[in-house]
Amino acid sequence: MTPTIIQPSPKGFHWYALKVFYNRVVYLKSLLPEGMESYVPLHTVESYDKGQLSYVETQLIPSLMFVRCQGAWLEKFKREHNDVFMYYTKAGGSEPGPVPDSEMRSFILVTSADAGRHVKYFGADAPEYHTGDRVRVTDGIYKGAEGYIKRIKKDRKLIVSVSGVAVVAVSSIHPDFLEKID
């Protein structure tokens, strides 16, 4: 699978993280205006049932969805569909908290490359995974992703986060493909 490369947000538009209730992501996506950009992190799961091997694409992080829109539009949309989702807010506030394009770009890159096969979800912004050197991947399928290096269970991982929303870890990046960021 070729990773999705996102372009900078148009003026006034930002990425926002949504927590979708009762895992109704598909339903919520159907309510969005045609052409509105959204992103749901997916991965491929291998299953074996009744002698058949199959591959099913499922949500990497259940109930999480991102949309790129204007904050005022999202607030209005929330009032109309309050029972379906909530948006992550700015720290200490009640208005939608935009996700920086740089964080979203890295997050999409690592969760879409190779169908998320080497990605492990660690929950909301876990600060213990933010120790170590900040790095950028210089080659391979995760080229351009930025994050932190951390040893987890004796394996070196690239930790990529969307602040206050999610942290994912990616393994199997060759050290030659990493450069430190000051």
Q: Which of 72, 99, 126 is the last residue of a domain?
A: 99
Beta-carbon-side half-sphere exposure of residue 38 (alpha carbons within 13 Å): 18
**Does the pLDDT value for residue 112 go beyond 70?**
yes
| Position 55, amino acid | Y
- Whether 93 and 118 share a structural domain: no
Considering only CA atoms, which of 167, 144, 166, 148 is closest in space to residue 158? 148
Kindly tell me if the per-residue pLDDT of 128 is higher than 50: no
Q: Which of 30, 65, 99 is the last residue before a domain boundary?
A: 99
- Confidence (pTM): 0.78
Q: How confident is the model over 32-40, as a mean pLDDT?
A: 94
CATH number of the domain at 71, please: 3.30.70.940
Residue 19's nearest CA partner among 67, 79, 58 is 67
Condensed to tens digits (0 to 9), the pLDDT of residues 10-20 reads 888 999 999 99
pLDDT in tens, 57-100: 888 888 999 999 999 999 999 999 999 999 999 888 889 999 99
Structural domain boundaries enclosing 91: 13-99
Residue 178 clears pLDDT 90, i.e. is over it: no
- Looking at the structure, do residues 160 and 95 belong to the same domain, yes or no? no
The pLDDT-based confidence of 2 (bands split at 50, 70, 90) is very low
For residues 111 and 135, membership in a common domain is answered with: yes
User: Are 122 and 70 found together in one domain?
Assistant: no
Element (H, E) at 72: helix 71-80
Examine the domain organization and report whether 112 and 163 are in the same domain: yes
More confident position, 125 or 66: 66
- Domain co-membership, 93 together with 106: no
Q: How far apart are CA 63 and CA 60, in angstroms?
A: 9
Q: Tell me: pLDDT of 160 over 80.
A: yes
| Residue of higher predicted confidence among 112 and 69 | 69
CATH code of 179's domain: 2.30.30
Same domain, 91 and 104: no
Within this chain, do residues 88 and 22 fall inside the same structural domain, yes or no? yes
Tell whether 120 and 172 lie within a shared domain.
Answer: yes
Q: Are residues 109 and 149 in the same domain?
A: yes
Of these ranges, 33-37, 91-95, 120-124, the one predicted with the greatest mean pLDDT is 33-37
Predicted local distance difference test score (pLDDT) of residue 72? 95
Altogether, the residues listed in the chain come to a count of: 182
